[in-house]
Amino acid sequence: MVDNYERILEKIAQVSGLEKEEISRRVEAKRAKLAGLISQEGAAQIVAAELGINFDNEKLKINELLPGMRKVNVVGKVFNLSPVRTFTTKKGDEGKVANMFIADETSNVKVVLWDTNHIELIEKNEIVENRVVEISNASMRDNEIHLGSFSELKLSGEILNDVRTERVVREKSIIDFRIGEDLSVRAFIVQAFEPKFFYVCPECRKKATQEADGFVCAEHGKVSAEKRALITIVLDDGTETMRAVLFHENLPKIGLTELENSERLINQREDLLGKEMIFSGNVRNNKFFNNNEFVVNDVAEVNLDELVAKLEG
């Protein structure tokens, strides 16, 4: 699958007439000048601007959207629409916000609506699931489209049939991880902390609180809670290290099966160190540590045959 960086290189090459190799060389030079503190995509956007190339007001496919873009124009089919929520600002004013997901044949993206005129289209059932919408003059925050008062949202006459509604996972190096992205990386486990245990409600799977006479779920009251575990590890792919969190269902995939036997668990944790696997998940900000962490939702063994074929390709 062609990633965001390759797509923006192709766009710059089409408009500028330069070879992709030359553009890539300028991108890496820009990253080196900035001490690697900027992603490849970000450096490519700077190079594009230096070449006089502006993607503003250009209608893009969803898989061409990049964090930080402004004046975004895109068409997509609504496939997930959340209820409108109300909130109170710090000044005491009441506001509304609505979220929806749109998709085209290339990918899908979350859209956040803040303007009451846009939200009214949902409240009046003018915008519903399976309708195609056109968005103009929006902005990208992380990996979400945000519409403000200067943005435009309307129904589109375009017909979109085969759209991608499944989660799109992109393969990236850890140094290029960004909050909100669904990512995959081949990395080594270089540190493994002691597992932490907690209890969940068997109905909603949310955390259950222990009280004197048992466990209580905020939604289902007194319940027979199920014991679960999570572990924090540190991943290293050669470009950077990052803390990662794995929950109960993924622990056997990395080799942790003896959660109730402390002696065997210690040995299994030691065996994790230096283990190379493919981790998929989502990047989020850990407010307690004030840093980014990788929440792993799947783990797979490295397939050497596939890896060799990919490197040869």
- The pLDDT value recorded for residue 3 is 58
Residue 77 near residue 131 (C-beta atoms within 8 A): yes
Q: Using CA atoms, how far apart are residues 34 and 44, in angstroms rounded to an integer? A: 13
Q: Are residues 78 and 97 in the same domain?
A: yes
Residue 215 lies in a domain: no
Helix (H) or strand (E) holding 28: helix 20-33
Least confident of 71-85, 86-100, 119-133, 189-203: 86-100
Contacts of 10 (CB under 8 A, 6+ apart): 20
The dihedral built from the CA positions of residue 272, 274, 278 and 282, taken in this order, carries a sign that is: positive
Q: What digits encode the pLDDT tens for the residues 74-90? A: 999 999 999 999 888 77
Q: Are residues 61 and 150 in the same domain?
A: yes
Q: What is the DSSP letter of 12?
A: H
Domain count, the chain: 3
- The pLDDT value recorded for residue 313 is 62
pLDDT band at 229 (very low <50, low <70, confident <90, very high): very high
Q: Are residues 178 and 296 in the same domain?
A: yes
Q: Are residues 43 and 159 in the same domain?
A: no
Helix (H) or strand (E) holding 34: none
Average pLDDT over residues 93-118: 93
Q: Are residues 112 and 28 in the same domain?
A: no
Domain boundary among 26, 54, 82: 54
**pLDDT, the chain, mean:** 88
Q: Are residues 256 and 186 in the same domain?
A: yes
- The pLDDT value recorded for residue 262 is 87
Q: What digits encode the pLDDT tens for the residues 186-196? A: 999 999 999 99
Question: Is 308 a residue whose pLDDT tops 80?
Answer: no
- Counting residues of the chain whose pLDDT is more than 70, the rounded percentage is 96
Q: Are residues 95 and 128 in the same domain?
A: yes
Residue 214 lies in a domain: no
Q: What digits encode the pLDDT tens for the residues 160-179? A: 989 999 887 888 899 888 88
- The pLDDT value recorded for residue 304 is 80
Domain boundary among 120, 150, 166: 166
Residue 86 lies in a domain: yes
In one letter, which amino acid is 129? E
- The pLDDT value recorded for residue 143 is 79
- The pLDDT value recorded for residue 40 is 78
Which range marks the domain in which residue 90 is found?
57-166
In one letter, which amino acid is 171? E
Residue 47 near residue 186 (C-beta atoms within 8 A): no
Q: Using CA atoms, how far apart are residues 235 and 243, in angstroms rounded to an integer? A: 6
CATH of the domain at 289: 2.40.50.140
Residue 14 lies in a domain: yes
Residue 207 lies in a domain: no
Residue 78 near residue 135 (C-beta atoms within 8 A): no
Q: 101 to each of 128, 132, 134, 177, how far by Cα in Å? A: 11, 11, 13, 22
Q: Are residues 12 and 44 in the same domain?
A: yes
Residue 295 lies in a domain: yes
Q: Are residues 90 and 145 in the same domain?
A: yes
More confident residue, 140 or 153: 153
Statement: the pTM of the whole predicted model exceeds 0.85: no
Residue 99 lies in a domain: yes
Question: Is 311 a residue whose pLDDT tops 90?
Answer: no
Residue 177 near residue 283 (C-beta atoms within 8 A): yes
- The pLDDT value recorded for residue 1 is 39
Q: Are residues 40 and 109 in the same domain?
A: no
Question: Is 306 a residue whose pLDDT tops 70?
Answer: yes
Q: What digits encode the pLDDT tens for the residues 265-282? A: 999 999 999 999 999 998
Domain boundary among 166, 183, 217: 166
- The pLDDT value recorded for residue 57 is 66
Residue 217 lies in a domain: no
Q: What digits encode the pLDDT tens for the residues 20-73? A: 899 999 999 988 888 766 777 778 878 888 888 776 667 888 987 877 788 899
Q: Are residues 161 and 232 in the same domain?
A: no
Q: Are residues 151 and 184 in the same domain?
A: no
